[in-house]
A and B are shown apart, each in its own frame.
Chain A
Amino acid sequence: MSESKEVEMVLPISYPSPGAMGKTGIWRVFKPVIDLSKCIKCWQCWLYCPEDTVVMEGDHPKIDYEYCKGCGVCKEVCRAGAISMIREGG
């Protein structure tokens, strides 16, 4: 009879981490760029960003390009027209 052996239990538990799917910024085709001189700080871009990539830096919004997927929702909802979509690598 063979000897009993301790087996390590592995549970299928995932742990939280930003970038669970990798650097999703590389998915982007168009890049949102904020013109801070036009920004009225209404924070609609933060409110509507599906990926939560708009962050507050000082008192103005900043886009986290590491994870921004470039969907363009922020450009559509910007009340001041301060966001433009610029083709990546162009």
Chain B
Amino acid sequence: MVLTIKDLMSRERTYLPGSASCPGCGASLAFKLASKVLGRNTVYVVPACCFSVIQGPYPKTCINAPLINIAFAAAAACASGITRAHKITGRKANVVVWAGDGGTVDIGLQALSGAAERNEDMIYVCYDNEAYMNTGIQRSGSTPQKAWTKTTLGGKVQPKKEVPLIVAMHRVPYVATASVGYPMDLVRKFEKASRMEGFRYIHILSPCPPGWGMSSNKTAEMGKLAVDTCFFPLYEIEHGKLRVTVKPRERKPLKNYLLAQSRFRRTLSEADVEELEKEVVKKWNQLLELEKLDRIV
């Protein structure tokens, strides 16, 4: 079944308006769409991240579903416990970890790896805003090379950690990347994931207006440009078979994406843009090579 916008609109909402997110927040947009697909029969686990603030202060919350807030490193471990309890009690519900990039690629990585290795029945979602935005824009393992953060004033030296591929190497049933700039692609991936069993991982690029240094109306445009410039390729790995889901007809120049954000504008020279572009093209070609293989793992 292919979900349409009208189908999504007719569903009950889990995300209630009036949350604490910044205007134009990519994470709340991603959650709104994902929760429409997953439905109310879902248990969310949220480690420390922007999303633990977005819910709103006690005693109210904008999430109309069971949700547990847990310590940074423990999200995947907590969700494992919930899935095991569901197995014993015979309850059928989606168990979803909704974690930021810090809680996924840095602090929560060992719990994530453990749960993936045990193939726990859950959907692990990382909404990637490419730094610790909640605490005031500090670098994370997911921050791209040359990006300014408050702890990398001259631009980050190291490249971004490829967590979706790291998770795929655990031989889990489903791994996908998504972007809020391509919402229907994101919806389709969640729909596919919700119909599968075992460990499923979805990595969403979620633009952050204050952290990336852009105005709040650019969220959708940046999410789309990241894909169109091949800076953040969209692909899915189903039982080891990689497929690129969005192939831009003509790759847009990387500087359209980079120079629209002050986190890159303030650190990049023209030579840097060229160097990054070469790296992006190289990675894109590698991905196309991987797509030709029957199985990558």
Residues of chain A whose beta carbon lies under 8 Å from any beta carbon of chain B: 12-24, 27, 43, 46-53, 56, 64, 66-73, 75-77, 85
Q: CB of B90 within 8 A of chain A?
A: no
Question: Which B residues are in CB contact (< 8 Å) with A76?
Answer: 217-218, 220-221
B17/A15 in contact, CB under 8 A? no
- Given contacts A69-B216, A71-B217, 17 further A-B pairs with CB under 8 A are A12-B58, A16-B63, A16-B64, A24-B18, A46-B5, A47-B33, A47-B184, A48-B183, A49-B29, A50-B29, A51-B18, A51-B19, A51-B21, A67-B17, A67-B18, A68-B17, A76-B217
Q: Is the CB of B64 within 8 A of A72?
A: no
Contact: A50 with B26, CB < 8 Å? yes
Interface residue tally on B, bucketed by range: 35 or more
Min CB gap B14→A, angstroms:
9
Closest to B184 in A: A47
| Separation of A85 and B216 alpha carbons in the complex (Å) | 13
**Cβ contacts A to B, 24 pairs, < 8 Å:** A12-B58, A14-B59, A17-B61, A18-B18, A20-B19, A20-B55, A20-B61, A21-B56, A21-B62, A24-B18, A43-B6, A46-B5, A47-B184, A48-B219, A50-B25, A52-B16, A68-B17, A69-B22, A72-B215, A72-B217, A73-B220, A75-B217, A76-B217, A76-B221
Q: How far is the CA of A76 from the CA of B224 in the complex (A)?
A: 12
Contacts of B9 in A (CB 8 A): 43, 46, 56
Question: What residues of chain B lie closer than 8 Å to A47, measured between beta carbons?
Answer: 5, 8, 33, 183-184
Return the chain A residue nearest B58 by Cβ.
A14
Q: Bound state CA distance, A24 and B5, in angstroms?
A: 25
A75 to B221, alpha carbons, bound, how many Å? Answer: 11
**A53 pairs with B17, CB closer than 8 A:** yes
| Residues of B in contact with A (beta carbons under 8 Å apart) | 5-6, 8-9, 13, 15-26, 28-29, 32-33, 55-65, 183-184, 209, 215-221
By DSSP majority rule, is chain A's interface helix, strand, loop, or mixed?
A: loop
